[in-house]
Amino acid sequence: MSIEREYKDATYGQFARIGKAVSHPKRLEILDLLCQGPRTVEVLAREANLGVASASQHLKALREARLLDADKKGLYVTYRLANEAVCAFFRSLRTLAESRLAEVEQITRRFLEGRKGMEPVAGRELLQRVREGRVTVLDVRPVEEYRAGHIAGAVSVPLRELRARIKEVPPGQEVVAYCRGPYCVLAVQAVEMLRKAGVKAYRLLEGYPDWRAAGLPVEISSRAGAALKERKVRPSGGTP
């Protein structure tokens, strides 16, 4: 074998490490979750519907491919993406699958079939509505994800709290709910809950990572924010 052949085989072998690491659906889901911010093994296991031992094995595979970093504090290990390029890679993979695999669209259509108000609002359209004071934006992800980063001006109302806080929505105000991304079901459930309560609600097509990647206004905060009725929802920052 020539040295040139050895060079090419060795190089593509390293590239294949990434492919092997992300070849399991649960590992892709874990990357999607970590695009929202760092998480402990226990939280990742719960959100991905895995046992802690199984989640740990998937995390080990991702870390061995240098896609993740980890910090240990006491008994808990917190995982994070190695850098922003990993989230960009996940989004590119998702986009490629959407463009090449008709099954992705078919699965989504079947899931949303018969659900009212699921016409998605695109990011820049939402930004315009917010600037005009026409909508209230709800972040229905867990509060830890909101604190790690959220759409500027959005109010944190985790899905599990939404039913008890629906009365906080200003009367007659349109609501747009968002969560982790186009395949996160939290916003879908939130819109259904709001519409049953008589609120005109829609879901944002993109999730927080997509919004951030598009250069649209974002915020990071140490608290979940005020009640809906006390907060003027208008993102900061100039026109992107």
d(CA 12, CA 113): 42
Question: For residue 155, which of 240, 221, 202, 238 has the smallest C-alpha distance?
Answer: 221
Which of 35, 87, 179, 184 is an active site residue? Answer: 179
Is residue 71 classed as helix, strand or coil in its secondary structure? Answer: strand
Residue 32 structure tokens: 């999607």
Closest CA to 55 of 64, 46, 67: 46
Dihedral, CA atoms, 227, 231, 233, 234, nearest 10 degrees? -150
53/226 Cα distance (integer angstroms): 38
- Token pair recorded at residue 82: 């190695």
Residue 179 among the catalytic residues: yes
As annotated, the active-site residues are 179
